[in-house]
Structure 1
Amino acid sequence: MCGPWSWDHGPLFLLDLISKADLMKLPHCFSTSILAGCLLLLSGCGGVSDAPTLVVVKGKVTLDGQPLDTGNVLFVPIDGKGRADAGPVVKGEYELKCTAGEKRVEITSQVEADKPAADGLPDYKSRIPAKYNRATTLTATVKSSGENTIDFAVTSK
């Protein structure tokens, strides 16, 4: 015990120091101001974000000279470091947010196969050859500033 007050019962002993009459004299906005101040102090405790900087990449995708109706485009860092970023292709156009750098690009699009899978569920086949997805030969340079419009013309053969 230190002085007439004790921490043995937690910080509630502080309430004994202020009379109820004193509390009634404090304006309601004072307590609101204290709360707002605490929230402001805590909001500055997050530090610097480790999230990578993303830039917009957009363009057109054609298959055999025609806009690819549906699909996906994936940008993967060539050096294998960092994240891969993907976005949908709709009516031959795509737009996504991506990290800057040299990328390997994969384009995918699937259609339902003529025959169902062995389990009776629908089966799908790729409309895009492997040289544009799993074994892609496509690359792109995504700039950290300025416009990133990158078009891809692929063939089904």
Structure 2
Amino acid sequence: MISRRYARSLAAGLFATAAAVLAGCGGGDNKIRVHGKVNLDGQPIKVGAIQFQPTDGKSPTAGGEIKDGTYSTEVPRGKMKVSISSSKVIGKRKPFPNSPEVDVMGEAVPAQFNTNSKLEIDVSPEKTEQNFELDSTKK
């Protein structure tokens, strides 16, 4: 019979090994740090999110925060569909009678750059800077 201490140590070792193997399966060596600027109608997106989805559906998705018009995140190598989002105040409402008004938030980035995005990039070590100049007047 094995001791509890040995059993816990063995279990911890197996867990660490399994975690390392699973991390390797996720393509950790295949990720590239991508960075750039994101502007909407010539102005930097102050706070938002950027999502990368593989066009072939075979690699993991990736994403990151946009802050003051810039982002930096690790993205798997290959062709990626890009979705960009940010929120803005679109009105005010009272959640309850006699309560103060609160901001009503909505999407600031037009659908052609997020829910219906056609933006695509090819992630490779040769092109780690990917800038996005979004024009809401173009469909």
Q: TM-score, normalised by structure 1?
A: 0.65
CA 112–51 in structure 1, closer or farther in 2 if over 3 Å, else same: same
Residues 38 and 133, structure 2, Cα contact 8 Å, conserved in 1: yes
Structure 2: unaligned runs, 5 residues or longer: none
The within-5 A match list for 1:1-157 is 10=1, 46=17, 48=21, 49-52=24-27, 53-116=30-93, 122-143=103-124, 145-157=125-137
* Structure showing the higher strand proportion among its residues: 2
Larger Rg: 1
Going from structure 1 to structure 2, the CA distance change for 1:118 and 1:65 (only over 3 Å counts) comes to: same
Q: Output the CA distance in 2 between the equivalents of 1:51 and 1:11.
A: 34
Quote the RMSD (CA, aligned, Å): 2.8
| Residue 139 to residue 118, structure 1, CA distance change in 2 (3 Å) | farther
**Which range is displaced more, 107-116 or 56-65?**
107-116
Of structures 1 and 2, the one with the larger relative CO (CA 8 A, separation 6+) is: 2
Number of aligned residues: 120
Match of 1:156, SS state, is coil
C-alpha separation between the residues in 1 aligned to 2:47 and 2:131?
A: 15
